Structure 1
Amino acid sequence: MLHLRMITPADRTEAVVKAIETTVGTTHLVVLPGAAREPRGDVVMCDVAREAGDELLQELRRLRIGEDGSIAVENIDLSLSRRADAAEEEAPGEAADAVLWEQLTEATHEESTLSITYVAFMILATMIAACGVVLDNAILIVGAMAVGPEFGPLAGVCTGLVQRRPRLALRSLAALLIGFALAIAATTLFSLGMDAIGQFHEGMLDSPRPNTGFIWKPDPFSFVVSLLAGVAGVLSLTSAKSGALVGVAISVTTVPAGANAAVALSYGELAQMWGSAEQLLLNLGGIMLAGVLTLYGQKALWATQRGRWARRPAKT
């Protein structure tokens, strides 16, 4: 269940209440006339089944409640109520399958911000991966994959394209490309510094690396894995199962490929550098393609159910 708390202009409160009452899967409606001070208006609260949340939010946006008042949405971890149970039963489908597009857009917007923290995580992850590729240490590679924050901008690009929000897509793409560019540049300097103090040497990069040599040798399996990871990552976001993102992060060679490119560049190993760059672009492209297709598939699935659950006669 979701809990909605709204501040509504007094002249639109009746329309908001009607929208809530006629939406499948809503309950626990509370109206507090004149309770809000900033902005001034009425406070309206209700609970709604996650499956019906997106339809209700769209209607509230149509009434411009977000522009002239406010809409806050919270997940309810525990609700001991027969009415809540009945509301969830009334809304067809499963909560885990429902997509809250406004929530997804907001989450990806935050995750794709080109902030100091985001860049710092990108640089640190790439430096850890550089140590992993030079030492042929799979544990360090997995750790770097888990630390890397690149899936946020990837999801932002997918969401922006599907929702036709070009600013979000361009913002996310810029964060992705600039983040990798800065991380590779910083890791190149890091590699040169490690070489200067005797911790890295060119022979470590040229010697056989059974655990990490695949990073700069893209093949069809790389693209297949990136497609599967893209689907899994988007599903983990839309279903609020963020724990699955850890598995997605350590399944695709993005940050390690950037790290191998940086180390190879520092030693002038152009073959490895271009191979790593190709691996990186292949995986990024595969994730974005799969993410876009998954979101379109989810959108089509819920569109087919809209006629059944979006609106019903007012509840008595």
Structure 2
Amino acid sequence: MRLVQVFVPQDQLDLVLETADEAGVDYTVSQDTDRGEFEALVSIPVPPAAVEPLLADLRTAGLDERSYTVVTAAETIISNRTDDLTGRFSRTRISREELQSRAADLAPAASTYFGLLVVSTAIATAGLLLDSAATIIGAMVVAPLMGPALAASVGVVVDDDALATRGVSLQIVGLAVAVVTAAVIGWGLRGTVLLPPGFDITTVPQIRERITPDFLALFLALGSGVAAVISLTRNVGSVLVGVAIAVALVPPAATVGLGIAWGHPEVVLTAGTLVLVNMLSINLTALLLLWASGYRPIQPETVDRVTARLQSRVLVLLAAIAVLSVVLAGVTYGTYRTAAVEHDVTTELETMNEEQLAADSELQFRETAIDYELVDVYTSRQPVVTVHVDRPPGEQLPDDFADNVRERLESATGVDLEVIVELATALRSG
């Protein structure tokens, strides 16, 4: 329930009471004898879904804009008179006015926002370097990125240019600060005793996950945008949703910073693409869902203009996502090709081992190493496959043994390979 309190200006009490009567809501009136500007305070308990139509009726009736209208959440209502009201207003979303107020509150002061963002990025960067998922998730709890994303979308939908501009600015500058923070930390840690000699960030699983994004990565961003709007409009689970949005943005941004610190342009490109696609997708889904939920500007005459502006913004977001998705498509295909070659090589060597076993041969293909990276798919560099072969003492292998192995593996993979066969003499007892 909500308690709507209207500070009624002089000579407008009858207007407010008639509006409340027409809406069929209960109210109480407190006369104001201390100040000449207001003549009464009218308190009206209503369900959340009734707030927006009630405020709209008051505006239509001509309530002075200089009046105060305060909407507060009522923790507990003890009355059997609320059942009828609740049944009449069955919507679950909050009013436009509450939405706008909450969105503004979620975009904190700049000092608070950037302070929390730097701290969360620092923790996330440490989590990436340590390959610690728990540390990364812990950092996301304090990351304040949910507010700006929602503020930008709410500002567009309700025609609040200041709120929209603030939300967009905080997102762009915030992600830039996250990248710079991670880069500075990376520069500071590189070559110190805190990291092993020759440390390569591209070999860390948590970092590698952010530099090999595919289309499935969009599900996190799209789902986070939907969940953020639901949590805002229904006031549920905002902390957990904020974590999901932060996971989609902060770790990839930190990865971009580490790519700058270590001088890996491919890391900057792929992780940077993931950051941008996630940010745009979150904003796109928030815009569409807020509009679909029925939120519109307060002034009816501005609806057409806001609709046109929203459509143009949606088209721009879709176009940007489509362009950036070219990189995701390339990464998706490249990842598939490298994984397919590795799978086919491993499967074929297992088949060759089974053939040796069936022939009572002690020859064994023990293990392989495959040097085939994502970038190799697009540079036409041949995969290099190293095969370790155990053979009994004294057994001679044909001179073309390595060529035969290569032909088998090329036939299985459909790719030209460079095959290195390393022979080892196996001694077995018993």
What is the TM-score when the length of structure 1 is the normalising length? 0.85
Residue identity opposite 1:136 in structure 2? D
Please tell me whether residue 228 in structure 1 is matched to residue 226 in structure 2: no
Q: How many matched pairs? A: 295
User: Among 223, 244, 250, which residue is 2:244 paired with?
Assistant: 250
Alignment of structure 1 residues 1-316 onto 2, 5 Å: 1-24=1-24, 26-27=25-26, 29-35=27-33, 37=35, 40-62=38-60, 67-91=65-89, 93-94=90-91, 97-195=92-190, 197-200=192-195, 203-241=198-236, 243-247=237-241, 249-250=243-244, 252-299=247-294
Dislocated runs of 4+, deviation >6 Å: none
Residue identity opposite 2:16 in structure 1? V
Distance 1:39 1:276, change over 3 A: farther
Deviation at 1:120, TM superposition (A): 0.6
Deviation at 1:126, TM superposition (A): 0.9
Deviation at 1:176, TM superposition (A): 1.2
- Counterpart secondary structure, 1:81: coil
Tell me which residue corresponds to 1:310. none
How large is the Cα RMSD of the aligned pairs?
Answer: 2.4
CA distance in 2, matches of 1:124, 1:300: 35
Deviation at 1:54, TM superposition (A): 1.0
Residue identity opposite 2:5 in structure 1? R
CA distance in 2, matches of 1:212, 1:200: 15
- Counterpart secondary structure, 1:42: strand
Structure 1 range deviating more: 274-283 or 203-212 = 203-212
Tell me which residue corresponds to 1:313. none
Q: Deviations over 1:255-281 (max 9, x none)?
A: 111111111111211111121111111
Residue identity opposite 2:48 in structure 1? R
CA distance in 2, matches of 1:279, 1:167: 28
CA distance in 2, matches of 1:63, 1:98: 24
Name stretches of at least 5 consecutive residues in structure 1 with no aligned partner.
Answer: 302-316
Q: Deviations over 1:109-146 (max 9, x none)?
A: 22224520110111111111111111111111111222
Structure 1 range deviating more: 201-210 or 103-112 = 201-210
Is the 8 Å Cα contact of residues 157 and 290 (structure 2) preserved in structure 1? yes
CA distance in 2, matches of 1:79, 1:200: 59
Counting aligned pairs with the same residue, the percent is: 24
CA distance in 2, matches of 1:38, 1:276: 62
Name stretches of at least 5 consecutive residues in structure 2 with no aligned partner.
Answer: 297-430
Residue identity opposite 2:293 in structure 1? Q
Q: Deviations over 1:206-231 (max 9, x none)?
A: 35233442222221111122111111
CA distance in 2, matches of 1:84, 1:35: 31
Distance 1:293 1:35, change over 3 A: farther
- Counterpart secondary structure, 2:186: helix
- Counterpart secondary structure, 2:294: helix
- Counterpart secondary structure, 1:82: coil
CA distance in 2, matches of 1:77, 1:240: 13
CA distance in 1, matches of 2:205, 2:45: 54
Structure number with greater CO (CA < 8 Å, separation at least 6) is 1
CA distance in 1, matches of 2:218, 2:157: 21
